[in-house]
Structure 1
Amino acid sequence: MLTSLWALPLVVQLLMLLLLLLGGLKVHLILTKGVCKSTNKLTGKTVIITGANTGIGKETAIDLAKRGARVILACRDLKKAADAKDDVIRESGQDNVHVRHLDLASLKSVREFASDILKNESRLDVLINNAGCVTIEKQLTEDGLEFQMQTNYFGHFLLTNLLLGLLKKSGPSRIINVTSKAHSLIKTFDLNNLNWELSHNNGSFYNSVYYYSKLSQILCTRHLAHLISQSGVTVNCLCPGAVNTQIFRNASSLFQTMLGVLIPVFFKNVKEGAQTSIYLAVAEDIAGITGQYFTDCKISQTSKLGQDLGLAKKLWEISETCVKLKPEERHY
């Protein structure tokens, strides 16, 4: 049998070897996927999930609703959010699910959303900063900030600060930032270039900004954990892994074609991708853990830059200026 295999044309042998390697990798990915095994209930708890109308945000909302939580879907597109709400109610079997408008690319919208929450909600137990985007063209928001950086990082930075007082009041509570392993692709971090004035190749995948935004989330997590260490609020971040969601809908057609080939082998489905977010929201064994980075429901290591506490402090201070955080909005 082995002799007959070697008798095949070289290209066939290489193809079979590639398939074997991919099959082995697929098995490895399946065996190492994290699964939230906690049966903890969230009855009487309130959860906010940004970008919960699709992907892992929606799947997280379904799971937490099943556990009895009051779930607030914070979304930019109210029509899609309303459809997602119906899905969450149907699949969770409970109707304590609500939609609130939030456009992270507008600091005004973030402040209006936070004001509404502070006015109408008596508690906030879990804040999941889940929303994210990938773009291929540079554009600025109405606030003069780079669109991708604001949607993925600056908007969540402001939102977290504005809701921190309510989180502390409701403690013990949790803040969860959904980031990415892609942060490790950044080897230098230019604090003077957070608004991304650097050019990029026309039509290229505008990836470096995405990497910056995800590293920024990790650094923000590190510093906030230090600032509120005695508050009863924990803050952790996570990489969900490669998940088959709509986040790359704005990427180039070539990149999307590549994904079409890779998804069956390397990507998780949304339910699998949501497991670490769910774990950080409900698991009792991490109740006192803060400032950490998780993958597959366990603590993992970030890049060296992601562990730089001095850099984290400087980024935090610059971010306060970028979002025009007022002294009365600082609850740490």
Structure 2
Amino acid sequence: MSDKNNSTYGNPVLATLNGIVDLFRHKEPIGEIRDSDRLDGLTCLVTGANSGLGKAIAIDFARRGGHVIMACRSGIPEAGEEVKQASGSDKVDMVKLDLSDIQAIRACCATLKQQGVRLDRVVLNAGLVPQKPLKTKQGFEMMFGVHALGNRVFVQQLLHDGSIANSSFAESPNAEPGKIPRIVFVSSETHRSGTPIELDSLGQPVEYSAMGSIAQYGHSKLVMTNYAMELSRRLNPGNTVEVAVHALCPGPINSNIAREAPKAFKPILKAVMGLMFASPEKAARPAIYLSSSPDVEGQTGLYVHLMVKKDAAAQALDPQLGRAVWTRMQTLIDAHSH
């Protein structure tokens, strides 16, 4: 399938450079973030919220009056105390979540269910770029396992348990206007440079160099974005949006996502990121907008790069491929469910 937005497939360097250039291009923003866009009375879960982008999102949500649940692999409870201090809110809790382990994901969901948590906003931010090939506990390629499969298991379990407010999966009544839950995936423009999705090899460990890790990162984000769009279609089959699902690219971020980069590259990365990349607070704007703005109430399936609405890559939007990937991922999950 051809798509002018897919011209960077297989070229992660070009995709990354395009992302940096986009920082300086003037495009009409999808909307604006207002101080009046509040989250009072809403429960908001953010994954990977112990540092960087996720922490910035958590702080903003708490400032807007939301009850924030920081789902993290580490940083408990120190990061939670820092978010409380920075936001001036004590409505901040933490829960342990390791997206690289299916059983750990289900344990996290079980904790939330036991506590009676009902989520109004879920921001799937957690991510990583290992310097060498790694496997999840169940043997999947690590970035695929965290960004695609891990998020799939997490969201699916939350829906099944009724932990997402007004979830039709839990036979809840239709969402009231202004109270439609929203699920927001933090993707990346590198999903356009990721190797195309091949069902037979989906999730299998792959070998790559330190530089080649970006290509695999893009592939994992492509699968994740494909899943997000299919999830949107499945949760909202009619004309009524019951659970909004969106995806975004925050642009290059001056954060610790490259914490596992080779030591030789770290000084260069630190200098470049400090000069060219946005702070986590600025990069958080698309996630904040899609989570809090009333302007997108009743919409679903949006993809936002920086603050500009655009189409995701063709493979991410393809409904037929979306159904096939959904089925294949379920098969992989079922094989490790016992």
- Normalised by the length of structure 1, the TM-score is 0.83
CA contact (8 A) 1:158 1:325 kept: no
- Residue matched to 1:251: 261
- Residue matched to 2:325: 315
Q: CA deviation at 1:188?
A: 2.3
- Residue matched to 2:218: 211
- Residue matched to 2:129: 134
CA contact (8 A) 1:136 1:207 kept: no
Task: Provide runs of 4+ in structure 1 moved above 6 Å.
Answer: 30-34
- Residue matched to 1:12: none
> Residues 239, 52 of structure 1: CA spacing in aligned structure 2 closer, same or farther, 3 A cutoff?
same
Aligned residues: 300
CA contact (8 A) 2:44 2:66 kept: yes
Asked whether 1:196 is paired with 2:204, we answer yes
CA contact (8 A) 1:168 1:231 kept: no
Q: CA deviation at 1:308?
A: 1.7
- Residue matched to 1:181: 189
Q: How far apart in 2 are the matches of 1:147 and 1:198?
A: 10
Richer in helix (by share): 1
Q: CA deviation at 1:61?
A: 0.6
- Aligned-residue RMSD, C-alpha: 2.4
Q: 1:209 is matched by which residue type in structure 2?
A: Q
Instruction: Name stretches of at least 5 consecutive residues in structure 2 with no aligned partner.
Output: 1-20, 168-174
The structure 2 residue matched to 1:148, chosen from 143, 146, 167, is: 143
Q: CA deviation at 1:253?
A: 2.9
CA contact (8 A) 1:104 1:151 kept: yes
User: 1:112-166: CA deviations, max 9, x gaps?
Assistant: 1111111213421011111000012122222121122112221111111111233
CA contact (8 A) 2:187 2:249 kept: yes
> Residues 299, 204 of structure 1: CA spacing in aligned structure 2 closer, same or farther, 3 A cutoff?
closer
CA contact (8 A) 2:128 2:143 kept: yes
The structure 2 residue matched to 1:120, chosen from 102, 110, 115, is: 115
Q: How far apart in 2 are the matches of 1:143 and 1:216?
A: 18
The structure 1 residue matched to 2:106, chosen from 105, 108, 111, is: 111
- Residue matched to 2:59: 62
CA contact (8 A) 1:126 1:174 kept: yes
CA contact (8 A) 1:53 1:85 kept: yes
Q: CA deviation at 1:288?
A: 1.4
Query: Larger Cα Rg: Structure 1 or Structure 2?
Result: 1
Asked whether 1:157 is paired with 2:148, we answer no
> Residues 70, 305 of structure 1: CA spacing in aligned structure 2 closer, same or farther, 3 A cutoff?
same
Q: Spell out the pairing of 1:1-332 with structure 2 (5 A cutoff).
A: 28=24, 36-37=33-34, 39-77=36-74, 80-164=75-159, 165-169=162-166, 171=175, 172-201=180-209, 203-229=210-236, 230=240, 232-324=242-334
> Residues 282, 26 of structure 1: CA spacing in aligned structure 2 closer, same or farther, 3 A cutoff?
closer
- Normalised by the length of structure 2, the TM-score is 0.82
Deviates most, 283-292 or 259-268: 259-268
Instruction: Name stretches of at least 5 consecutive residues in structure 1 with no aligned partner.
Output: 1-24, 328-332
> Residues 254, 305 of structure 1: CA spacing in aligned structure 2 closer, same or farther, 3 A cutoff?
farther
Q: Sequence identity, in percent?
A: 28
Secondary structure at the residue paired with 1:81?
A: coil
Q: How far apart in 2 are the matches of 1:135 and 1:27?
A: 25
